[in-house]
Structure 1
Amino acid sequence: MTDPTPVVDRYIAIWNATDPEDRRDLVAGSWAEDGAYLDPLMKGEGHAGIDAMIAGVQARFPGFVMSRTGPVDAHNDRVRFTWALGPAGAEPLVAGLDVGVLAQDGRLASITGFLDKVPG
C-alpha cells in the first residue's frame, strides 16, 4: 500500500469544500463510484449521495471546518484517522474516528464513522 495520507487529506478537503462544483470534483477524484459512507446519524451512497450528505452537514453547520486530528493509521486496504469539526479557531463541536476501505485504484470504497463528541 502506498501512503494513504493524501487520500484521507483529500477526504477532509471534501468536507471543507463549500463550492458545489469543487466538492463534486473532489468526491469524484477521492471516492469509488459505488463508495459508501455510514455513521450513526447519516449515510451516503455513490458520488451523488456522498455529495448531498456533505452539503447537508455544511448547511447545518455553516462556516465549520473539519480537520484531521491525528496521524493516518493503515494496513492492507484499511485506514483509520481521527477528526474534528467546528468553527475555525474554536473548540470543535463534533469529533470522531473514521475507518475506511480503499478500492483497488486507491480511492475510498467506504468510510464508517464513529462519533465521539456531538452537540446536544
Structure 2
Amino acid sequence: MSDIVEQYLATWNAEGAQREALLAEHWSPQVTYVDPLADVTGAAAVGAMIDAVQAQFPDYVFSQASEADAHHRQLRFTWGLGPQGEEPVVVGFDVVVLDEDGRIQDVRGFLDVVPG
C-alpha cells in the first residue's frame, strides 16, 4: 500500500494534466475528502482544492513523514508540507480508504502543526 501513499502525495504535488491523470488513475470519481478546512466530493473538487492549497503555499511540496499503517482497504500516514529539502511548516496525517478497485475512495485528514 505504500504505492498508494506515493500516488496520493504525487497528486498533491502535481499540476495541470499530470494531476488530472493521477486523479483519473488513482482516485475514485466519487471520492470524498474531509479535513478541518475542507469537505469536498468528487475528483474534480479534490483537484480544485489542491489548486487552492498550491496557491496558498507556492513552491511547497508534500512529503511522507511516516510509514503507512494499513489493514484491509485502509491506511494512515503522516505527511509534511514545506519547502523542498527543509522542515515542513504544516504536518498532518490522513486516513485513506480504498474502493474495491484499489483507488482512493475516502480521505479523512487531520492537521497536527499549522503555521500561526
Question: What is the root-mean-square deviation in Å for CA atoms of aligned residues?
Answer: 0.8
Give the Cα–Cα distance (whole angstroms) in 2 for the partners of residues 91 and 69 of structure 1: 10
Q: Deviations over 1:34-73 (max 9, x none)?
A: 0011100112211110000001100110000100111111
Matching of residue 6 in structure 1 with residue 19 in structure 2: no
Match of 2:77 in 1: 81
Stretches of 4+ moved more than 2 A in 1?
none
Q: Which amino acid aligns with 1:14?
A: T
| Identity value in percent | 47
SS at match of 2:100: coil
| C-alpha contact 1:85 1:93 (8 A) present in aligned 2 | yes
Q: Which amino acid aligns with 1:63?
A: D
Match of 2:48 in 1: 52
Unmatched runs of 5 consecutive residues or more in structure 1: none
Give the Cα–Cα distance (whole angstroms) in 2 for the partners of residues 49 and 92 of structure 1: 25
Give the Cα–Cα distance (whole angstroms) in 2 for the partners of residues 103 and 91 of structure 1: 33
Unmatched runs of 5 consecutive residues or more in structure 2: none
Match of 1:17 in 2: 14
Matching of residue 117 in structure 1 with residue 101 in structure 2: no
Which residues of 2 match residues 35-114 of structure 1 at below 5 A? Answer: 35-114=31-110
1:28 offset after TM fit, Å? 1.1
